[in-house]
A and B are shown apart, each in its own frame.
Chain A
Amino acid sequence: MEYGLDLEYSFNEFLKGFGLSSEIAHIIWLPLPMLLVLVAAVVGVLVTVWLERKISAAAQQRIGPEYAGALGVLQPIADGLKLLVKEDIIPAKADGILFTAGPILVLVPVILSWLIVPFGQNLLISNVGIGIFLWIALSSIQPIGLLMSGYASNNKYSLLGGLRAAAQSISYEIPLALSVLAVVLMTNSLSTIDIVNQQSGAGILSWNIWRQPVGFIVFWICALAECERLPFDLPEAEEELVAGYQTEYAGMKFALFYLGSYINLILSALLVSILYLGGWGFPIPVEIIAKFLNLPINAPFIQVFTASIGIVMTVLKAYLLVFIAILLRWTTPRVRIDQLLDLGWKFLLPISLANLLITAGLKLAFPQFFGG
């Protein structure tokens, strides 16, 4: 399976053609994929915000944004610019340092997690060995930022929102990690690349969703809870807490929270598609198509084609899930805090534990289907 474009290698060879040493070529290469992923994340947020506005309008039989660009596609940019030029206010009785550090601590781990999101065999920033575990570890930093901003705002609604966010995030991390563990058990590896390759045998039939239906549902519920999306948006429940931990924030600091929550949503959708929906895989394996068209799999044209198909498929699957998340947000009521914790600890945790045990048993019984 070691084929596909290796852009880093080609880029380094290209720079060496100008007489640069391989180390300098590597240093010039390093920021490029990072910048690309950052831009991709921000553009993804703009698209998601537009989708959210349009779909919510459709759900409520409104038109939604219409005048900023065709169908209002420029509305998110207008929103962003507005937040950029707004005055940056720190409340007089607030704790200035923690108030500023909070939003940063919320955003940075989310962006760092994009390190492991693959769009193709070699199309990711770093194929670290711990892969998906890195994401679980990084997402556990976020509640500290939320608690920090909730505390520093010197506002009781903020503090309550921060505490709720931390409690929610701790409780849903455990079933989330357990359902990831079941997938890892089947793959024998933590690397996201291996997880996708393990599902690429027979196209849509070999996706993990058929082998891990319970894990898929548990993961999706927990991912929504970690993103604080309705029906789990208790930390910022408007009717109870004004806006939770964001209450005192304005301007760019508020924009950081906003960006963070939407990037987290896209990241969760991407990870669901990687873990359960075959990642960059086309429903029919590309090898079969290439064989059908009598083309060699290593031809440059086919390689560019498969790489673009991979990116399109990853983004398509992710946005399908984002669509479902938006639809859920505008059609379901919010759960109460005790219902939320009951669901997490008394329902999802035992179910994901049982799922892990059954997966381990099935792996021993049918090693050819559940990864030997």
Chain B
Amino acid sequence: MSIAITTQIICFSVLSLVILIGALGVVLLESIVYSAFLLGGVFMSVAGLYLLLNASFVAAAQVLVYVGAVNVLIIFAIMLVNKKEDLKPISDIKSRRIISTSICLTLLSLLIRVDLTNVWSLSNPQNSIGEESTIRIGEHLFSDYLLPFEVASVLLLMAMIGAIVLARRDVMSKDISTGLPVDQELIEKSSEPLLTNKN
């Protein structure tokens, strides 16, 4: 066994271990902050797996999008609303758990089926593109995958508009969830400086 292959196997096993343990930690840990940071670690290790597969562009994109944007925003949101309060007990917890477990098991069986039916071995391993993958991804994004790519951006736009609507309720006269007129006094800042009425 050559040194390159040994290094590859060691890297692969370390990365897979980190992914498995990290993912379990994300789900099982009590502290939501630890879960969020562990999620970042899992994303990084997945990027490492891409790197092992010679897909360096995909790995860098994974780090940029998932670690640099998604995970930072998750942590940001957690820290802005991190109140130390006990969660209210949910009444029908049992049925909810059953539903979520069954959905997860269905997804798992689907993944296992894909894993078993797909032919993973390349017909011609010498044909791998390696560093040229950046160009090929670009070509695909602007030709046969153009429509899905653009539709994904519309989805992001919708999410963004939704977030703006939720965050800026003061621009609307009615509360969107209750239908009651919004009390705008608390939201709008007073136009005169606070210190003027003190003396």
Q: Please list the residues of chain A having a beta carbon within 8 angstroms of any beta carbon in chain B.
A: 23, 27, 98, 128-130, 133-134, 136-138, 140-141, 143-144, 147-148, 150-151, 159, 162-163, 166-167, 170, 173, 190
Closest Cβ of chain A to B118, distance in Å, is: 27
Q: Please classify how large the interface on chain B is, using the bins under 10, 10 to 19, 20 to 34, 35 or more.
A: 20 to 34
A140 surroundings in chain B (CB, below 8 A): 63-64, 67-69, 72
Q: A130-B134, A137-B68 known; A144 and B75 CB under 8 Å?
A: yes
Residue B60 lies at the interface, judged by CB distance under 8 Å to chain A: yes
Q: A23-B3, A140-B69 known; A134 and B60 CB under 8 Å?
A: yes
Closest Cβ of chain A to B58, distance in Å, is: 10
Contact assessment for A137 and B79 in the assembled complex, using a CB-CB cutoff below 8 Å: no
Which of the residues A130, A138, A163, A170 comes within 8 Å of B80, measured between beta carbons? Answer: A163
Contact assessment for A129 and B76 in the assembled complex, using a CB-CB cutoff below 8 Å: no
Contact assessment for A143 and B37 in the assembled complex, using a CB-CB cutoff below 8 Å: no
Q: Looking across the interface, which residue of chain B has its beta carbon closest to that of A24?
A: B3
Contact assessment for A129 and B56 in the assembled complex, using a CB-CB cutoff below 8 Å: yes
Q: What is the bound-complex CA distance between A233 and B172, given in angstroms?
A: 36
Which of the residues A23, A27, A133, A163 comes within 8 Å of B79, measured between beta carbons? Answer: A163
Contact assessment for A137 and B64 in the assembled complex, using a CB-CB cutoff below 8 Å: yes
Chain A proximity mask over B54-98: 1 for CB below 8 Å, otherwise 0: 001100110110011101110110011000000000000000000
Q: What is the bound-complex CA distance between A148 and B72, given in angstroms?
A: 10
Q: A129-B134, A133-B60, A137-B64 known; A27 and B3 CB under 8 Å?
A: yes
Main secondary structure of the interface of A (DSSP, over half): helix
Which of the residues A98, A148, A167, A190 comes within 8 Å of B134, measured between beta carbons? Answer: A190
Q: A27-B3, A148-B37 known; A159 and B60 CB under 8 Å?
A: no
Closest Cβ of chain B to A144, distance in Å, is: 5
Contact assessment for A137 and B76 in the assembled complex, using a CB-CB cutoff below 8 Å: no
B56 surroundings in chain A (CB, below 8 A): 128-130, 134
Residue B15 lies at the interface, judged by CB distance under 8 Å to chain A: no
Q: What is the bound-complex CA distance between A138 and B2, given in angstroms?
A: 30
Q: Looking across the interface, which residue of chain B has its beta carbon closest to that of A138?
A: B63
Which has the most chain A C-beta neighbours within 10 Å: B2, B37, B69?
A: B37
Q: What is the bound-complex CA distance between A98 and B67, given in angstroms?
A: 17
Q: What is the bound-complex CA distance between A56 and B64, given in angstroms?
A: 36
Which of the residues B33, B61, B67, B130 comes within 8 Å of A141, measured between beta carbons? Answer: B67
Closest Cβ of chain B to A346, distance in Å, is: 15
Contact assessment for B79 and A173 in the assembled complex, using a CB-CB cutoff below 8 Å: no
A141 surroundings in chain B (CB, below 8 A): 44, 63, 67-68
Q: Looking across the interface, which residue of chain A has its beta carbon closest to that of B132?
A: A129
Chain A proximity mask over B1-40: 1 for CB below 8 Å, otherwise 0: 0111000000000000000000000000000010001001
A147 surroundings in chain B (CB, below 8 A): 72, 75-76, 79
Contacts beyond the supplied A138-B63, A166-B72: 4 A-B pairs with Cβ under 8 Å? A23-B4, A143-B68, A148-B37, A151-B79
Contact assessment for A143 and B72 in the assembled complex, using a CB-CB cutoff below 8 Å: yes
Contact assessment for A144 and B72 in the assembled complex, using a CB-CB cutoff below 8 Å: yes
Contact assessment for A173 and B72 in the assembled complex, using a CB-CB cutoff below 8 Å: no
Q: Looking across the interface, which residue of chain A has its beta carbon closest to that of B76?
A: A166
Contact assessment for A98 and B37 in the assembled complex, using a CB-CB cutoff below 8 Å: yes
Residue B131 lies at the interface, judged by CB distance under 8 Å to chain A: yes
B37 surroundings in chain A (CB, below 8 A): 98, 144, 148
Which of the residues B40, B68, B73 comes within 8 Å of A173, measured between beta carbons? Answer: B68
Q: Looking across the interface, which residue of chain A has its beta carbon closest to that of B58?
A: A130
Q: What is the bound-complex CA distance between A136 and B4, given in angstroms?
A: 28
Q: Which 3 A-B pairs have the closest CB atoms?
A: A140-B68, A129-B131, A137-B60
